[in-house]
Amino acid sequence: MSCPGTVELGVLLPHLAGVVVEEVTAAAGLLVLGAGARAAEAACPACGTVSRRVHSRYARTLADAAVGGRPAAVVLAVRRFFCADAGCPRKTFAEQVDGLTTRYARKTPLLAAMLEKIAVALAGRAGSRLAAGLGLPVSRQVLLRLVKAAPTRRPLTRGCSASTTSRSAAASTTARC
C-alpha cells in the first residue's frame, strides 16, 4: 500500500513492477537503478517446484529503455535457489523477474523490443542515429544483427494469382480474382 502523494514505480514503469528499486544514481549521463526481486520464492524452470532456499547471490546488469531521455541500466541483485525437488536434474537455478529478465539477456525485453522495431524500420547508421537521439545508444552492427535475427514475414499478397512475364502482357490483361 502506498502513502497519499507517493506513486508506485510499477505504475510509471510497468516492466519494473516485479522489483523493489532500492537506489537510483545518475552518473556520467547514465541512470542506474539498484533493484532486487519482490518475490521471496522462485519456481525451478526444469520441474516447476517453488523454492525459498537461497544458494547464493550475484549482481546482474541489464541495459534498459531510456528514462527522461537518459540511458538507463538496472543493477539487479539476483538470487540462486536450490531446487526443492530431489529428483530434479537441476540442483540450483537463478530467479527470473517477469517482464524484466530473460535467460542470458543483457537487455530488458522492453529495450530489446524497441531496438528491434528501430532495426526493422531503419537498420544501419540511420537506425543508430535515431536510437541515440531517443537515449538508446546502439551501434549499427547491433541493429543489423537484430534485423537478421528478426522473424521473417511473408510478403502480403492479394487473393489473385495472375502472373505475367512482361509489362506489355500485364498492361493488356486484367487480373481476375
Cell digits of residue 16 = 519494473
Q: How long, in residues, is the chain? A: 177
Q: Is residue 176 predicted with pLDDT exceeding 60?
A: no
pTM as predicted? 0.75
Q: State pLDDT tens for residues 83-126.
A: 999 999 999 999 999 989 999 999 999 999 999 999 999 988 99
Output helix, strand, coil percentages for the chain, rounded to the nearest 5: 25, 30, 45
Are 94 and 59 spatial neighbours (Cβ–Cβ below 8 Å)?
no
Q: State pLDDT tens for residues 8-43.
A: 677 778 888 889 999 999 988 899 999 999 999 999
Spell out a b/e string for 69-80, using b for 16 or more CB atoms within 10 Å of the CB, else e.
eebbbbbbebbe
Are 55 and 14 spatial neighbours (Cβ–Cβ below 8 Å)?
no
Q: Per-domain residue ranges for the chain? A: 18-98, 107-151
Q: State pLDDT tens for residues 40-85.
A: 999 999 999 999 999 999 999 999 999 888 999 999 999 999 999 9
Q: Coil, helix or strand for 17?
A: coil
**pLDDT classification of 1: cutoffs 50, 70, 90:** very low
